[in-house]
Structure 1
């Protein structure tokens, strides 16, 4: 059994509440289907702001605006471990076997029900979002494929906190949102598909890296799959089977390298293209460094012009 199959079983059938209990964490209160804990992902949390809905198989930290499934929790809790090591750790802590696992949830979701999207606007409407995308070196490419997402999160007392982020939709209609301070998903978690050439496919972990690739490949007609989370690798692989020409642009960290190797093992004709940003963790790191050098050269030119006056 592969780690990815095990990861799928963990996401669909394992209990986050039971895992937390085995790790020594107990809920402070219960509200409806949700269990609230003092966040074990932050040292500054003194109130129960970490919510778990085991019926959906999801968690959400109200203090950071981040959430996800049991795999995402493991990656956040054991940050020093690789994806594969996190899966093994979860198996060990959960004491799971296929025979003991409950049936898969009918609707696996990474949506916390208190999300409400209020408004969608084109990129360029809010200076903070524009500034964030510009700082990542992808503003112009983002104008076509991203939107500004305005939403609020309502706590158990009915209090609302409003947020805004750059976002894009995944294949299930959920919104993947990013800003300077956090990243998350509003709605069902899934991959994002961008149709193009039916024979060529480019694959990315995240949308910002896709936009980074697009800045250097403006005329490329490849179809694109953005995973939005490495936990979506199995779904992405099933989609990729339909393409005879596959290029993989995953991160160069341990998790990205392992995911690339796993994908190539299943689809031997797929190619690891991460060498185009060799020396950087991901495609966007390369683009940001290029932008930084470009700004420095421009500043030198203007400085030289001033001195020659």
Structure 2
């Protein structure tokens, strides 16, 4: 008789949310079925580690940690959280944290093979409309507040979708969106006092074809549109990562370009992503000094005072009357 900690048992029975709670980590906020935590795998200010309760998986949108693991199941989290200890030691850590019993099995149990089932992810949404911008005032206000309303024309759509299952089944939602390379819709909107980010479908980079020689790479689509506002005549091809964890996909796409400019966030995740890009493609240029003093291009754009038309200038009537005074 042998004592054994079953990895399959841990994956089937241990809730990642419960494990995080027992380790002393609480979510910063919830978005649908996803919980967002301030990453405990690295230093960060904004919550970017996402946990899907239903699927039992996690993904760190903020970048790689010392283990190199960006997401996965509860055991993958343990391997990252307790890095660099061994796989059996991670199972023991999880078992202790969750107070799981140790199974006693015979040699015959080792010889029995459980049939493996392929994991399938069933979409929890249904797209009910893809419309041009300007139909929904809330989306229009959001894009105007980001300073990229004109640049978004023809480059973004209004995405209307309905939740297909769960507590919010039947509820309709809307967001501004654009497509990535897989045809999935990357979504952005504002809910209350925070920005909403999601993806309907498989996460991937977005590629905008242009010059065959010059490429500009951005972390986010809003940064790309902000740059386009300042560079309306630019003909560069463009890659938008949509997540710094997709930097490897960007490297594959960027390899053929003679000139590459990177406009990444001025934070640790952005710096790490740039270092990875530069290691693979040494000729890449860091253009983040363009918005020095700000985290990203869009933040710099939003900080600018709005342009006023002549008749919108403050005290305009007093100034006009002053010209008639004798």
Using the size of structure 2 for normalisation, the TM-score is 0.67
Q: How does 1:66-215 map to 2 (within 5 A)?
A: 70-72=58-60, 75=62, 83-84=64-65, 87=68, 90=77, 91-93=79-81, 113-156=123-166, 159-181=169-191, 182-215=196-229
| Cα pair 2:67 2:83 within 8 Å, conserved | no
Q: How big is the shift at 1:298?
A: 6.0
* Residue in structure 2 matched with residue 306 of structure 1 by the alignment: 317
Structure 1 152/94 Cα, relative in aligned 2: closer, same or farther at 3 Å?
farther
Q: For 1:211, what is the secondary structure of its paired residue?
A: helix
* Residue in structure 2 matched with residue 41 of structure 1 by the alignment: 27
| Cα pair 1:19 1:93 within 8 Å, conserved | no
Relative to its length, the structure with more helix (as a share) is: 1
Structure 1 112/246 Cα, relative in aligned 2: closer, same or farther at 3 Å?
farther
1:103-125 per-residue CA deviation (whole Å, 9 max, x = no partner) reads xxx9999x761111110011111
Q: How does 1:258-269 map to 2 (within 5 A)?
A: 258-269=272-283
Query: CA–CA distance in 2 between the matches of 1:278 and 1:168?
Result: 27
Q: How big is the shift at 1:231?
A: 1.1
Q: For 2:150, what is the secondary structure of its paired residue?
A: helix
Q: State whether structure 2 residue 226 is matched by structure 1 residue 243.
A: no
Q: For 1:183, what is the secondary structure of its paired residue?
A: strand
- From 274, 283, 306, the counterpart of 1:294: 306
Query: CA–CA distance in 2 between the matches of 1:204 and 1:87?
Result: 22
Query: CA–CA distance in 2 between the matches of 1:107 and 1:212?
Result: 42
Structure 1 150/97 Cα, relative in aligned 2: closer, same or farther at 3 Å?
farther
| Cα pair 2:186 2:199 within 8 Å, conserved | yes
Q: How does 1:5-24 map to 2 (within 5 A)?
A: 19-20=16-17, 22-24=19-21
Query: CA–CA distance in 1 between the matches of 2:311 and 2:56?
Result: 45
Q: How big is the shift at 1:41?
A: 2.0
| Cα pair 1:251 1:257 within 8 Å, conserved | yes
Q: State whether structure 2 residue 228 is matched by structure 1 residue 228.
A: no
Say what the alpha-carbon RMSD is for the aligned residues. Answer: 3.9
* Alignment length (residue pairs): 258
The higher radius of gyration belongs to: 2
| Cα pair 2:16 2:57 within 8 Å, conserved | no
Structure 1 18/225 Cα, relative in aligned 2: closer, same or farther at 3 Å?
same
Structure 2: gaps of 5 or more residues: 1-10, 36-49, 71-76, 89-116, 322-326
Using the size of structure 1 for normalisation, the TM-score is 0.71
Structure 1: gaps of 5 or more residues: 1-14, 26-38, 52-57, 76-81, 101-105
| Cα pair 2:206 2:239 within 8 Å, conserved | yes
Q: For 1:171, what is the secondary structure of its paired residue?
A: coil
Q: How big is the shift at 1:152?
A: 1.2
